[in-house]
Amino acid sequence: MRYIEPHAHMVSRTTDDYEAMRLAGCEAVCEPAFWAGFDRGSVDGFRDYFCQLTDYEPKRAAKFGLPHFSWLCINPKESEDMGLAREVLSIIPEFLQCKTVLGIGEIGLNKNTKNELVILQEHIDLAARHEQLILVHTPHLEDKFKGTKLILDVLKNDPRIQPGRVIIDHVEEHTVDMVLDSGFWAGITLYPESKATPARAIDMVERAGMRNIWLNCACDWGRSEPLAVPRTALEMRRRGHSAGAIDDLVYGNPMRFLSQNPRFQIL
């Protein structure tokens, strides 16, 4: 089996995880910028983080033969401080020319505040001006439905945005249809407690169809499973899905979306 892990926070993981993913058939890993578990105190903290994502982490992954790509932004959990957020936005263009940067992400909302919305719009503007792909984080748990609707409204209101170049991640049963019906890609995140389990993820795929959906583990420093995608592939086999259909979902779909950026070369 082969698969692409399109969303994993590998800076939080050990090299053993890289090896396990590679052994399980992972052919590329993509890492969006995210919250470190604490608020960084200055723009320099983000500059260091972006250097880690674009320089150090690809080298660490390469030791296991794994191509590593990244997405850049200031995450919504730190967007309440609009002064800091705008400082971080101002340095992102320095990194957009790095050969492993795929786009702007994971941007979005956390608690659905006015400040978060302003910074989301400014990220979208940055992506549009630099013709970047966009990866969107939707809020957690009780905030997801409202946040997803607000995010879709912002994206639809910007005529420069092509929905096929935007993936809305962490969809669940109550948000997947509104995302796909609007022409965006949808990401299903596999977590032990929050977000989706393998069984629920396959339910969503069976109901919505496999077009424009990817699966990801979004493994980070919290409870998460780096091998959640291959485990879900095994679950699909248990349900009788063909090897071809599984390959299309866990390898073909992320390949189709990510290849919209010509930098995504893994062969």
Partner 1 sequence: MTRAQVLDLYFMDARCKLIELAAFLDRVDRAEGEDDFRLEGLREAMKSLSLNQPARAKSVLMALSDPTMEPLDTAPGKGACGAWPGLQK
Residues at the contact surface with partner 1, assessed by CB under 8 A: 35, 77, 80, 110-117, 139-146, 149-150, 172-174, 194, 199-200, 203, 238-240
HEC string for 159-176? CCCCHHHEEEECCCCCCH
To partner 1, the closest distance from the beta carbon of 265 in angstroms equals 37
To partner 1, the closest distance from the beta carbon of 121 in angstroms equals 12
Cα–Cα distance for residue pair 121/4, rounded to 1 Å: 29
- Residue (54 or 110) nearer to partner 1, CB: 110
Q: Which two tokens stand for residue 256?
A: 């189709």
To partner 1, the closest distance from the beta carbon of 138 in angstroms equals 11
Cis peptide before 31 (omega within 30 of 0): no
CA distances from 178 to 168, 184, 185, 208 (A): 10, 9, 11, 11
Residue 3 phi/psi, 5-degree rounding, is -155, 160
Closest CA to 215 of 241, 126, 52, 104: 241
SS3 for 73? coil
To partner 1, the closest distance from the beta carbon of 158 in angstroms equals 17
- Residue (35 or 185) nearer to partner 1, CB: 35
Residue 4 identity (one-letter amino acid): I
- Residue (54 or 175) nearer to partner 1, CB: 175
- Residue (47 or 200) nearer to partner 1, CB: 200
Cα–Cα distance for residue pair 147/161, rounded to 1 Å: 19
To partner 1, the closest distance from the beta carbon of 114 in angstroms equals 5
Residue 191 identity (one-letter amino acid): Y
To partner 1, the closest distance from the beta carbon of 25 in angstroms equals 23
- Residue (161 or 171) nearer to partner 1, CB: 171
Cα–Cα distance for residue pair 109/22, rounded to 1 Å: 32
- Residue (101 or 152) nearer to partner 1, CB: 152
SS3 for 11? helix
